[in-house]
Amino acid sequence: MSIPLLSTTDLTVRFGGHIAVDNVTTQFHPGELTAIVGPNGAGKTTFFNLISGQIRASSGQVVLNGQDISRLPVSARTKAGLGRAFQLTNLFPDLTVLENIRLVVQAKANKGFNLWSTAVALTDITAKAQTILAQVRLEHVAKQPVSELPHGDQRKLEVAILIALEPKVFMFDEPTAGMSLDEADTILDLIADLKARTECTVLLVEHKMDVIRTLADRIVVLHNGQLVADGPPAEVMASAIVQEAYLGLSPEDQMHG
C-alpha cells in the first residue's frame, strides 16, 4: 500500500462527558475516494472539524503529508492542503459570487497582505476565478450577491470554493443535502471529475447509498463516534454492523442526516 496522505491516530474529542469522536485511527491515500457514513449524530461532521481544525482534539493526532497538523490553526491547515466544503452553506453572503471565488484564489496566491496594489489590478486572479465559475456553470450569476442565489447554486459555489483551493485533500460534508435530483447530479459529476484526476484524495460524507456505490473506493462507518467498519463498498455494505448502524432510520432521516 502507498504512504497515506492523511492519517488520524487515536483521534478523540469530548464535549463535557459526551465523546463525539472516539479513538478514531485511519488513513487516507492519494487518489482514493472514501465515503464516510453513519447515522445522524454519529460524529461525521465533528470528525471533519477535527481534521480541518475548527475543533481541537482532546487527544490524538492528525498527520498530513508527514506533518503533524493537530496544533495548527484552521488557516494553516488549509495552506497545508486541506480543503473543506461545509454541510451548512457557509459563504460570504453580501459579496458577489465572483468575489467569493476571487478571495479563495487570492488566498491561494498569498496576496492577502498586499496593501498597495488594488485588487482590481490583479487581473490574473480574477481571470482564474472566472475560469472556475465557468467550470461549475455559475458564470451567468457572477455579479450577483450570494445571498440572492437559490440554494442549489449556493451549494455549487461551496464546491467551486473547494475547487479553487486546489487542496490535496477534498472534504465534502453532505454536498447534495437538500438539493433537487438535477442539482445533486451536477455536484456529483463535479466530484466524479475530481476523482478522475488521480492525485486527489476525497473524503465524502454522504447518505445516498447509490451515490456511494458508484463513487466510493472505500467506506468508513462511524457510529457513536467510533469507527466500526472500514473496507471496500460491497463488503462493508453487506456487513451486519452497517445494517445495524442504519437500523431504525427512516429514508427521510437518511436524506437529511
Residues at the contact surface with other proteins, assessed by CB under 8 A: 52, 54, 73-76, 78-79, 84, 86, 90-95, 99, 102-104, 106-108, 111-122, 161, 165
Closest Cα to residue 179, out of 201, 207, 144, 221? Answer: 207
CA distance linking residue 134 with residue 96, whole number of Å: 15
Residues with Cβ within 8 Å of 174's Cβ and at least 6 positions away in sequence, in order, are 87, 205, 206, 207, 257
CB of 210 to Mg ion, least distance (A): 20
Nearest residue (CB) to ligand ADP, 20 versus 242: 20
Residue 19: name its binding partner from ligand ADP, other proteins, Mg ion, none (Cβ under 5 to 8 Å by kind): none
Residues 3-22 that bind ligand ADP (CB under 6 A): 15, 20
Q: Which of left, alpha, beta for 184 (phi over 0: left; psi -120 to 50: alpha)?
A: alpha
Q: How far is CA 56 from CA 51, 75, 153, in A?
A: 9, 13, 31
Residue 66 identity: G
- Binding segment (CB under 6 A) for ligand ADP, from list 25-33, 38-46, 88-96, 126-134: 38-46
Question: What is the spatial distance between Cα 85 and Cα 171, in angstroms, rounded to a whole number?
Answer: 6
- Minimum distance, C-beta of residue 171 to ligand ADP, in the bound complex (Å): 12
CA 206 – CA 173 distance, rounded (Å): 7
Does the footprint of ligand ADP cover residue 42 (CB under 6 A)? yes
Per rule CB under 6 A, is residue 70 in the interface with ligand ADP?
A: no
Q: Quick check: 43 binds ligand ADP (CB under 6 A)?
A: yes
- Note the residues at the interface with Mg ion (CB under 5 A): 45, 87
- Note the residues at the interface with ligand ADP (CB under 6 A): 15, 20, 38, 40-46, 257
